[in-house]
Amino acid sequence: MSNENLNKKNLENLQTRIDEVVDRTIAEKRLVGAVVQVALNGTLCYSRAAGYADREQIRFMQNDTLFRLASVSKPIVSAAALVLVSQGRLQLDDRVDKWLPEFCPRLPNGDRAAMTVRHLLTHTAGLTYRFFQMEHDSYEHAGVSDGMDQPGITLEENLRRIASVPLLYTPGTQWKYSIATDVLGAVIAKVADTPLDEAVRSLVTEPLGMKDTAFFAVDPLRLSAAYANDRPEPRRLLDSDYIPFVEGTSGFRLAPGRALDRTAYPSGGAGMVGSAGDFMRLLETLRKGGAPLLPESLVQEMTSNQIGDLPMAYWPGRGFGLGFTVLKDPEAAQTAESPGTWRLGGTYGHSWFVDPVKQISVVAFTNTALEGMSGQFTTDLCETVYAGLSNRTL
């Protein structure tokens, strides 16, 4: 790997700018700690651990600190499904009930829905998340878990509860971010004929050497504490906690202790634990074409908009690929990212993006929920990366 297109002055400028953003955000007590990595042209040119992994125990953040990944789990589990597709064991247009005959959610009129694996990967399956719904809405009445609380049930039981609720719309006709990746996880487990955690390990994390990534903390001593953005400073999350989301919705129900419980059901959409370096390895593998994980043709499909012009709430200017958002219109999204950039985040405080045009990969894992996912830090970091590279010659 070479970094010859980035001169020393530009590199120092980039590093200084990112340091300023990280330091300011921590000083303003909007984040407790973070690990930020930036790769350019395949070379890791910025890697920093800042702040506290555990403020109360005065444990400093390290580059190999482990984090509760929340929705950062989705690209990993989606990649596992695509490995099965590449092996000919699964098809994108397979009906879900081919693999999960007991999973038969109905449309609002009572008709049986034709839901496919592609619908699950693109979040066009007719499902939602409990945290998007109003209090006492259908998912709450059914006892559906979003995969971040600790309900003491199995994956199969959660799927039964999901299927007991009518779909919001006919699959393929709308886009709604949802618990679809949890259903996808059950499909993966069935196709692989092994529990989901073992399937993801054999299909993705082991081939890529992602030794820090699993459905539990592989080393509890390296696991960061979890915080919620608050004033005058972030508060430590309790083991059964609540964070408001958009006004009028039921919000996030979180159980940070879930990361230490190997008996918790594996939530494909929100249940994994890992490190920034591990996740960067996956992103760079995909950006470079997918080997040894996936053929380039399947990576191109994964990273291309698959939902046409279906509107996406909360993410204007973006479409959706097979597991994460894909930028369509930088002006509408108010971003400096190139068209075709992939991006997603995670409730516990993470953001990441890959700009394949400019060959930029950025991973920002924090331990402060919401601020690190969609707060000002996420915007500042993105703008700073592009400003720091404004004189770079590609």
| Nearest-angstrom CA–CA distance, 159 and 105 | 10
Task: Count the alpha carbons within 13 Å of 292 in the hemisphere toward its beta carbon.
Answer: 7
Q: Compute φ and ψ for 277, nearest 5 degrees.
A: -60, -40
Q: 3-class DSSP state for residue 59?
A: strand
The strand ranges marked E within the chain are 33-40, 43-54, 59-60, 67-68, 227-228, 235-236, 241-243, 252-254, 273-274, 318-320, 325-327, 342-346, 350-355, 360-366, 368-369
Q: Name the token pair of 371.
A: 């601020």
Where do we find the tokens 């996420």? 378
Q: 3-class DSSP state for residue 50?
A: strand
Catalytic residue among 2, 71, 138, 297: 71
The candidate with the shortest Cα–Cα distance to 279, out of 362, 382, 349, is 362
Q: Show Cβ contacts of residue 157 under 8 Å, excluding neighbours closer than 6 positions.
A: none
| Nearest-angstrom CA–CA distance, 70 and 225 | 14
Q: Show Cβ contacts of residue 98 under 8 Å, excluding neighbours closer than 6 positions.
A: none
End-to-end Cα, the chain, rounded Å: 15
> Is 71 noted as a catalytic residue in this protein?
yes
Active-site residue numbers? 71
